[in-house]
Amino acid sequence: MEPTKHERLRGRCRVSEASDLVAREESVSADVLGQLVERMEQMILRGELSPGSRLREMALADALGVRRGPLREAIRILEGRRLLERTPNAGVSVIAPTLEDFEQLLVAREALEGMAARLAAQNMTSRQLDELRAMAARMESRDTKDHDALGVCQTGPDSDFHRHIAACSRNKRIEQWLCEDLYSLLRFFRARARPQASVAHAEHRAIIEAIHRRDGDAAEQAMRSHIRRSRRALLAHASVNGMDKEPAK
């Protein structure tokens, strides 16, 4: 089960959300719904659906070439991912996060990832630890310019590293809050922090070694200081996605 667990985790919310909904709405295939959700998510993250703007179902269904049933299902999924929010009597709007929200997310992330690392030190199998080492090694072998997203935890090797630790915490709540809620919201923000890949690599190695020693205190502290340092760097160069550019036509 171990090798596939974080792979499952990464795809889980898309697949399970789509298939649950399709069970209720047989006319839409999971694939079609999944693609629609993916497309709308990109529109939100790119600012094509402006932060704070209200969704106009009919116009959106026309623009996307879909019926309103599937569109509503997609909207429900994106509400679940906290990218859309429903206000009574006002309909559904795109969230409009602020830099203060970004800071709060990153503070919460420090606590959650610290606990995930502590639990992983107890629960990670040696095979999972080998996988974690391999992930860190792959990151170190890549060119430095690939590392400007280090610490943001959106996609890519750094994200894989952190998601793997969350999965190996074997605490479903922490895994879900991190991998489904928090990382999803973090994608709303952009930070042009200068890459400090060598520092991040050293921090990753400290986390791995603490887990290897089964030292939960050290694993938590190492993870917390990794996240804390990246938070400072990110906040110094942060912008809210979609607010610093013209919406794409």
CA-nearest of 150, 249, 165 to 207 is: 165
Does residue 41 belong to the site contacting Zn ion (CB under 5 A)? no
| 17 is an interface residue for Zn ion by CB under 5 A | no
> 44 vs 189, which CB is nearer to Zn ion?
189
In angstroms, give the least distance from the CB of 138 to Zn ion: 13
Nearer to Zn ion, 55 or 233 (CB): 233
- Total site size for Zn ion, rule CB under 5 A: 1
Stretch touching Zn ion by CB under 5 A, among 133-141, 153-161, 188-196, 208-216: 153-161
For residue 113, state whether it binds Zn ion (rule: CB under 5 A): no
Q: At what angle do helices 2-24 and 157-168 cross, to 10 degrees?
A: 90
211 with 129: CB under 8 angstroms? yes
- Contacting residues for 141 by C-beta, under 8 A, at least 6 apart: none
160 binds Zn ion (CB under 5 A): no
Q: With left for phi above 0 and alpha for psi between -120 and 50, is residue 48 left, alpha or beta? A: alpha
Q: Which stretch binds Zn ion (CB under 5 A): 22-30, 134-142, 156-164, 184-192?
A: 156-164
Q: Residue of minimal CB distance from Zn ion?
A: 158
158 near Zn ion (CB under 5 A): yes
Q: What are phi and psi of 239, to 5 degrees?
A: -145, 155
Instruction: Give me the least distance between CB of 139 and Zn ion, in Å please.
Output: 8
8 phi, psi to nearest 5 deg: -60, -45
Which span (46-54, 71-79, 135-143, 155-163) binds Zn ion, by CB under 5 A?
A: 155-163
Residue whose C-alpha is closest to residue 12's, from 227, 178, 185, 190: 178
| Residues near Zn ion (CB under 5 A) | 158
